[in-house]
Amino acid sequence: MQQESRLGEGTEEKITTSYRAGEVIYTAGSRGIAWRVISGSVRLDRNGPDESLFASLALRGDVIGAETLLFGCYSFDARVVSPCVLGPWLERQGCPSGEALLQTLAKVEHRTANAMSLRSGDALNRVRRLILMLVQEDAPSVPSTQIALPTLRDMADITDLTAETVSRAISKLRKEGLLNREGWRHASIRTG
Amino acid sequence: MQQESRLGEGTEEKITTSYRAGEVIYTAGSRGIAWRVISGSVRLDRNGPDESLFASLALRGDVIGAETLLFGCYSFDARVVSPCVLGPWLERQGCPSGEALLQTLAKVEHRTANAMSLRSGDALNRVRRLILMLVQEDAPSVPSTQIALPTLRDMADITDLTAETVSRAISKLRKEGLLNREGWRHASIRTG
DNA sequence: CGTGAGGTTGATCCAGGTCAAGTGAAGTGG
DNA sequence: CCACTTCACTTGACCTGGATCAACCTCACG
């Protein structure tokens, strides 16, 4: 957790927290509040008996840790995939409204379908879909935009490939012209 | 949809509907209510631009079609994987309670993690996990139990394998002794 | 009984896993 | 400011698990 800032936004004041790539936001079993992803991306992992397994990917607008309102603690580990900003969800305590919950529920189901699609098809398309997903959710409808790429390890976990295969896929995407390298682990993407 | 029955259950009367394997419960875009899965299993598919893609698997206790309360129509296709019984969810209309929605939300996130785990590891373990998932959710803590196996096609879609590979995996599981054939597309499973 | 959909099994091929040997960038201590 | 370390990424060579293609079998149902 790097910084906290108070931003006036519309009529209400919001508190947000920025996280850097690789940071742990929370771990399963610990206590805390539910968060909304303002920007960036977060991976949720189920820490199974043996090791930690990728469970799903939260992007801008998604709510993470909602189960804490029910169980009092988190069910998953949350780690930053690309630098992100979080804000508290449902600041005013008490019984959350049905409407907000229904929207969150619909979003989670959509997110599930997206995550599953990242594990179908060949390596090149999985990685392409992942990168487009990260960009489009962050900055929709811009012809060319910048992105902070996740680590190969994260992309490999998400797509169920190896880091080597992801690296090769990204090389191909660069040759294709989808990605242009822009410094260390940053790229610009052609979305047109 | 094969039959409707009214069952006294506790103090309240419930209406349930039984579906046979392969039946379509609803399609994306159509109107209807939200359902709770009483038994059996249902696959939800996103009908993408090209073809229908597996999005997630609903088991006993899961709610499907909740998005209809928000959008007025379904977002996914729902098809029966193994014979199932559904009941309406939130019979009395109006704003659903926060508690019930939170539970449903937590269940969906759990379901996502389960579905993702069916697309990790080698073919044998994916199929094994799928079968154990279908059994455990249906009849927990029984040493040996019966199961109506889904079609190879369904199992292949869910695990992102081919039908041939699933068939070979099931043969191995039979040799292992996990599965015993009991007639056409039925089996008993050793859960001890 | 005949037909068709689903399941099984074998042979072959290749995408991606695995192993290994680099390279480049960000730090770190002198 | 510069060695030195370290971690992430890259690239090559090889091998294997599962896809693909094909032939066949089995049950359910009309």
Beta-carbon separation of A116 and B120 below 8 A:
no
Give residue A142's pLDDT.
65
In the structure, how far is the CA atom of residue B151 from the C1' atom of nucleotide C9, in angstroms?
A: 18
Number of H helices, E strands in chain B: 5, 10
Give residue B4's pLDDT.
55
B143 pLDDT exceeds 70?
no
Give residue A13's pLDDT.
58
- Using CA atoms, how far residue B153 sits from A70, A151, B46, B55, in Å, is 37, 35, 17, 15
Give residue B11's pLDDT.
45
Q: Chain B within 8 Å of A1 (Cβ-Cβ)?
A: no
B50 pLDDT exceeds 70?
no
Beta-carbon separation of A112 and B112 below 8 A:
yes
Residue among B56, B109, B120 whose CB faces A113 most closely: B56
| Nucleotides of strand C within 7 Å of the protein's CB atoms | 6-11, 15-20, 25-26
Kind and range of the H or E element at A146? strand A144-148
Is strand C less than 7 A from the beta carbon of A91? no
Give residue A14's pLDDT.
72
Confidence band, pLDDT 50/70/90 cuts, at residue B87: very high
Beta-carbon separation of B56 and A111 below 8 A:
no
Confidence band, pLDDT 50/70/90 cuts, at residue B136: confident
Residue among A46, A54, A105 whose CB faces B108 most closely: A105
Residue among A101, A110, A119 whose CB faces B105 most closely: A101
Phi, psi of A54 (to 5 degrees): -60, 130
Is strand C less than 7 A from the beta carbon of A176? no
B-chain residue closest to A115, CA distance: B116
Q: How many CB atoms lie within 10 A of CB A12?
A: 7
pLDDT tens-place string over residues B28-37:
999 999 999 9
As a whole-number percent, the residues of chain B with pLDDT over 90 amount to 71
Beta-carbon separation of A110 and B71 below 8 A:
no
Q: Which of B52, B109, B162 to mutate to test the interface with A (most CBs of A within 10 A)?
A: B109
Question: Under a CB-based contact definition with an 8 Å cutoff, are residues B185 and B148 in contact?
Answer: yes
B-chain residue closest to A70, CA distance: B102
Question: Under a CB-based contact definition with an 8 Å cutoff, are residues A9 and A87 in contact?
Answer: no
B109 pLDDT exceeds 60?
yes
Q: What is the pTM of this model?
A: 0.90
Give the CA dihedral A108, A112, A117, A120, nearest 10 degrees.
Answer: 170
Give residue A11's pLDDT.
46
Give residue A32's pLDDT.
95
Nucleotide nearest to A169 (CA to C1'): C16
Is strand C less than 7 A from the beta carbon of A119? no
Phi, psi of B167 (to 5 degrees): -60, -45
pLDDT tens-place string over residues B164-189:
999 999 999 999 999 999 888 889 99
Mean of the per-residue pLDDT values of chain B: 88
B92 pLDDT exceeds 60?
no
Give residue A95's pLDDT.
61
d(CA B178, CA B183): 16
| More confident position, B27 or A11 | B27
The sign of the CA dihedral A34, A35, A36, A42 is: negative
Show the low-confidence residues of chain A (pLDDT under 50): 2, 8-9, 11
